[in-house]
Amino acid sequence: MGLRSNFAPFLSLLFLLASTTKGQSNGGVFDVTRYGAKPNTDITHALLNAWKGACASTSRSKVLIPKGVYLLSQSNLKGPCKSSIEIQVDGTLQAPPDPKGDGLVILEYIDKLTLSGTGVFDGQGKVGWEKNDCHKKKICTKLPMTLKFNFVTNSIVRDITSLDSKNFHINILGCKNLTFQHVTISAPEDSPNTDGIHISSSEQITILNTKISTGDDCVSVGDSNKQITIRDVTCGPGHGISIGSLGKYSKEKAVEGVWVTKCKLTSTTNGVRIKTWPDSAGEYSASDMHFEDIEMNNVSNPIIIDQEYCPWNQCNPKIPSSIKISKVSFKNIRGTSATPVAVKLVCSKKIPCEAVEVVDIDLKYNGNKGPIKSQCANVKPIISGKQNPRICA
C-alpha cells in the first residue's frame, strides 16, 4: 500500500507531461496527426495548429506531415517564430481542384526555416489550366500558386516535389539568403503560366541540383533582384531559364548579378534568355548576368536576348525598350538547336546593349530549314573562342 502511494505522484507527473506535450514550448516534433490530421481528409486546421505550436517554441522545432495522402486548403504559415523551425513533408498534400486563393502554402516573415522531406505538393492544376488566360492578357484572374515564400530569410528548401501547380509552382518575394536544393518540379508541357521557380525583389537566392519539367519558364528571374545563383538545373520541357520579362510594370527596379552555370536544357522552347518589353513602363538596368557551361539538347532559341518581347500584342512594339542591358556573358554553350537561329541578340534601338561577351559557342542545327545562323541588332558583342554559328556575321 505504501509503495503504491509513493508511485502515485510520479504517475500523475507522467500523465501531466503526456497531456501537455501537444502544446510544448521547448522544441521537439509537432506531428500533425496529433492535432487531428488523418489521411484523405482536410488537414488545414491541424497544420495551422501544429505550426503555431512549433513557431512558439523557444528552441528548434519541427512540424511533421507523415506519409499518406492529405487534403489541404490555403495555409498561411506566418512568423516570426521564436527559434529556427523545420517543416518535414513526407506525405502528399493535395490542393482543392477548384482554383481559389493565392497559394496552397504561403510561408512568410520567417527566419531560419527548413522545408524538407520526400513528400509532394500536388496542385491538381488541370482544372485551373483550362481557366488560365494570363499568358494572353495583362489583366486576368490570377490562379493560386503552390508554394509562396514572402520575406523568408536564411533558409533552405530541399528534396520536396511540386506537381501540377495551377500557376507558378514556387514564388519567391522579398527573400534573402534562401537556397533550393534537390527540388523536383513537374507539370505537362502545355500547362500555362506554370513557372517552376519565379524570383522577384530578392537577394542571395540559390537554386542547386534541381529538376524542372513544366509549361513555362523553368526558372524566371524578375525585377529587383540581386545575387541570384542557378547551378546544376535540368530543364525540360519548358520555356528555358529566363531573366525577365522586364519592364512590363511600373515601379520595377534593377537586376544585378545573375549566374546560371552547369545547366542542361532539353526540348525547351528557349534556352538561356533575357527578355524585356518594348514600350517599357519604367527605365532601369539589368547587368552582371552570366550563362556558362550550358548543355542544349534540341532547344529552340538556345541563346537569346530579346528586347522586343511582346507576346499576344500586349504592348506597342514600335516603342523601343527602356531597359539598359550590360555586362552579359555567354560562355561554353554547346549542343543542338531545334531552330536555325541558334543565337539571337536583339537589343533596344533606344538603349543598345553594352559589354556583351560571347565565348566558345558550339551549337549544331538538327533541322532542314537552312544553315545554322545568328541574328543581332543594336549590339556589338565581344567575341572569342569557337563560333558555331558565327556570331553577328
**Which amino acid belongs to residue 219?**
V
Task: Give the helix/strand (H/E) hosting 198.
Answer: strand 197-200
Q: What share of the chain is helix, strand, coil (3-state, %, to 5)?
A: 10, 45, 40
Which residues face 28 on adjacent strands?
61
Contact 314, 275 (CB under 8 A): no
CA distances from 19 to 15, 34, 115 (A): 6, 11, 28
Active-site residue, selected from the candidate residues 135, 169, 198, 239: 239
Count of positions (residues) in the chain: 393
Helix H, strand E, coil C: the string for 220-286 is EECCCCEEEEEEEEEECCCCCEEEEEECCCCCCCCEEEEEEECCEEECCCCCEEEEECCCCCCCCEE
User: Can the peptide bond before residue 96 be classed as cis, meaning omega within 30 degrees of 0?
Assistant: no
Closest alpha carbon to 260 in 217, 298, 300: 217
**Cα distance between residue 283 and residue 384, in whole Å:** 31
CA distance 131 to 121: 21
Is 169 labeled as catalytic in the residue annotation? no
CA neighbours within 13 Å on the CB side: how many for 54? Answer: 29
Residue 13 and residue 122: Cα distance in Å, rounded? 43
Catalytic sites, residue numbers: 239
